[in-house]
Structure 1
Amino acid sequence: MISYKTLFLLTAFILTLSGLLSLITDSDSNRGLYDLYPSNTDHNKDLGDSPVANMTYFLMLTEGIAGGFKPPTIRRVIELSSDGTIGFVKQSTLKNKDDYVVQQGEVSSRELAVLGVDLRTYLAILPREEPEGGEDIYGLDISISFQTDGFEWRNGAPEGCTNEPSRVHPTPEQKAMFRELVERIQSVGQQFAINTVES
């Protein structure tokens, strides 16, 4: 049986040297990302000086993306950025009608490396709505926007009265995968964005 550490290193090798992305499958279709990459394992400590440990990327998670007769009400925005040395976390949470509480913090890029690898690997096989912004196909009223070298991904939702059904929809397993990524990003925001920025 392949260990979690070996599985992670294999994924990093493929991502770094060949740029080919593959989905790590399992006979149990209900197995989630936390089972593949448990947050309490030691592989976070074994990245060494590999390119994966110095991965650069920018991510923005937006809660409250669907509009209607009125524009969408953005409830929270979480921004993660890693320059390969230091990671920055910023969280803006709606306090009242149009006032946001902004909190931020720093974290070692190594702490964000595994999340960055997972995001690139799994977002690459998750569908996006077609046409763009036509429908919230994941049903969470949440958007993930992710950018790294040679790869960009973003899902959306209708921002106004026009709602055009998407020609593409995720499977239940893909919806669960998206939800788990959202939860991991939210956890990072809660854990590291702890310094309030005075307005």
Structure 2
Amino acid sequence: MPPAEFFVRLQHGITGGFAPPTPNAIFTIASTPTLPHLQVTTAVRPHGTPALQAAVPKELALDDGNQALVDELSRILESIPVESPPGSEDIYGLDTSIVFATDKWQWQNGGPAGCGGGTSSVQATDEDKIKFVRAVEIVKKLVGHEGEL
């Protein structure tokens, strides 16, 4: 079980190159020991528009079902690799990054500024890619965004 305090950020739109990536969606989930719920924000860029919509905050109960999803997300991310060096290559091929941070550990793919077009010395296996797809599904379910990114 992850600690009572954690932060998750999913960004769709991480591949760039000469220009930085343009995100299509950014979802965040935060938990603090002083609050009985998760704090969630979603910001999506509608197709054909130049910018993300303003982040929409909401609260999500940290009930058994949601806690089980957070626990599953934590286990998945602990079991799959990240690219090396950070930000070199989108090894999962989804143009999506996830940051999961607690006071004990952190997992992040995609680098702080996205993926810039290098080659990673670490590659994801087909099994790793399936697990990453599930991790993305979990975050989308928690924030209430079941559609395409």
Q: What is the TM-score when the length of structure 2 is the normalising length?
A: 0.83
| CA distance in 1 between partners of 2:80 and 2:52 (Å) | 33
1:69 aligns with 2:5: no
Secondary structure of the structure 2 residue equivalent to 1:124: helix
Note if contact 2:23-2:52 (Cα within 8 Å) is conserved in structure 1: no
Read off the aligned partner of 1:92 and give its amino acid letter.
A
Read off the aligned partner of 1:108 and give its amino acid letter.
A
Equivalent in the alignment of 1:131: 85
What are the equivalent positions in structure 2 for 1:182-193 lying under 5 Å apart? 182-190=136-144
1:103 aligns with 2:52: no
1:117 aligns with 2:71: yes
Secondary structure of the structure 1 residue equivalent to 2:84: coil
What are the equivalent positions in structure 2 for 1:147-166 lying under 5 Å apart? 147-156=101-110, 159=114, 163-166=117-120
Equivalent in the alignment of 1:90: 41
Deviations 1:43-100 (A, max 9, x none): xxxxxxxxx6x73211000000110232211000000011242111110011321241
Read off the aligned partner of 2:71 and give its amino acid letter.
V
What's the RMSD between the two structures over aligned residues? 2.1
Equivalent in the alignment of 1:27: none
Note if contact 1:57-1:116 (Cα within 8 Å) is conserved in structure 2: no
The answer for unaligned runs of 5 or more in structure 1 is 1-11, 13-51, 192-199
Tell me how far 1:149 sits from its aligned partner.
2.8
Larger helix proportion of the pair: 1
Higher RCO structure (Cα 8 Å, ≥6 apart): 2
| CA distance in 2 between partners of 1:69 and 1:150 (Å) | 35
Deviations 1:106-130 (A, max 9, x none): 1122353222212221211100001
Structure showing greater Rg: 1
The answer for unaligned runs of 5 or more in structure 2 is none
Query: Percent of aligned positions with the same letter in both sequences?
Result: 31
| CA distance in 2 between partners of 1:87 and 1:142 (Å) | 22
Q: What is the TM-score when the length of structure 1 is the normalising length?
A: 0.63
